[in-house]
Amino acid sequence: MDSQDVKEDLKHVLFTKEEIQEKIAELAAQVDKDYEDREVLLVGVLKGAVMVMADLSRALHAHYTMDWMAVSSYGSGTKSSGVVRILKDLDTDLHGRDVLIVEDIIDSGLTLSWLKSNLESRGANSVEICALLRKPASVKTEVPVKYVGWDIDPEFVVGYGLDFAEQYRNLDCIGTLAPHVYS
């Protein structure tokens, strides 16, 4: 789906399909350089990171293994409960592994901070983070992020894995959602 399919729902497009692919290629080149001659496990955080993980893994020039986690810090509402739950755990033993967490977006950093600590406690050799987007103005806890595509303003964004009510994930660009959609 492209932006013309949902043009009434978007305030504006932040990053086009082409800009996203260029940024993913840049991130992949840096990951390849930094992890040269190391076996790395890419850990995608479901569901939002599916697009980033797929495109990043295809842009890499070495063998990387992949696994997935699903975590939630939200109960039934829209505000964080403060408690992180693992909804789907890894199938891979992390002991002695170099791990790269792949995320679509970092908002408050609370869940990601917990996740990084959790994976480190499992005996990983290293745990780093790659995020396509980060909202610095929304950060409540500092999380060291090794690879960041773009820093953005604290607006509600959709597309390329990012959703609103499970919609817009398959949008090939990233845009800000028009207020009439969620108000």
Helix spans in the chain (H): 17-34, 50-59, 110-121, 179-182
Catalogue the active-site residues: 107
What is the 8-class DSSP label of residue 135? -
Please answer whether residues 162 and 104 qualify as being in contact, where contact means their C-beta atoms are separated by less than 8 angstroms.
yes
Please answer whether residues 135 and 151 qualify as being in contact, where contact means their C-beta atoms are separated by less than 8 angstroms.
yes
Q: Which of these, 41, 97, 96, 95, lies nearest to 69 by C-alpha position?
A: 41
Q: How many CA atoms lie within 13 A of 17 on its CB side?
A: 7
User: Can you list the positions of beta strands (E) in the chain?
Assistant: 10-15, 40-45, 65-74, 80-88, 98-106, 126-134, 147-151, 157-158, 174-177
Which neighbouring-strand residues pair with 112? none
